[in-house]
Amino acid sequence: MKSKIFIACDSTSVSKVKKIIKDTQTPRLQIGYKFGLEFLNSKNGRKFVSKLKNQITFGDFKFADIPNTCSSAVKAIKDLQLNYCTIHISSGLEALKAAKKVSGKTKIIGVSILTSLDNKALKEIGYNKDVKKLVLHQAKLAQKAKLDAIVCSAQEVKIIRRVFNKEIITPGIRFNSEKGDQKRVLTPKKAFKNGSDWLVIGRPITKGNIKNNVKKLIDHLN
């Protein structure tokens, strides 16, 4: 079975994203493309995604609002024909259910605690639970709402797998100790070993020579 990788297309440039897609084509991996707010809110980004056929697409909108707004937002992106779309689990059970109800063929992914946050950052926001307990609690909510997938750090996959039986997607993937703006990171090999279904990889692939970086990833996984 091929390893499943979402390449994070974090850019406002359509030409840069086209190059990312072109240079990451490989029969060795199952590749999908994640488009975040940076690209989806850019002048030509949404239009580009709407015309992107024959690729696995992931719209990382991270909706977080009242139930009516979340369901309306999911309806508003139907024209993109996305395979996946994200909503913050912290929006609450009713908002999660509302988004799922109108999603059609698009899989709804619940976003747990962002991988850029750690226990210190959570306390600053006002949470009194540590990361692992909070993520486990959110995973139970995602399961209750019958979401199709969940996003979490690869460090928490084993915990989530106890209560969530659908796809688990893990960002915060790094080949080495350079974390950048991420806090809870893991290598690709360890992430898959923990049970991740999909990895989301951005800069370690898209920064520098993309083809060489893809080869490095394949060598690392082998």
Query: What pLDDT does residue 186 have?
Result: 84
Torsion of CA 141, 63, 204, 52, to 10 degrees: 120
Q: pLDDT 10s digit of each residue in the chain, 222 long?
A: 799 999 999 999 999 999 999 999 999 999 999 999 999 999 899 999 999 989 999 999 999 999 999 999 999 999 999 999 999 999 999 999 999 999 999 999 999 988 777 788 888 888 887 888 899 999 999 999 999 999 998 889 999 999 999 999 999 888 865 555 555 678 899 999 999 999 999 999 999 999 999 999 999 998
Q: What is the pLDDT of residue 127?
A: 81
Question: What pLDDT score does 114 carry?
Answer: 80
Active site residue ranges: 62
Query: According to the model, what pLDDT value does residue 94 have?
Result: 98
What pTM value is reported for the model?
0.90
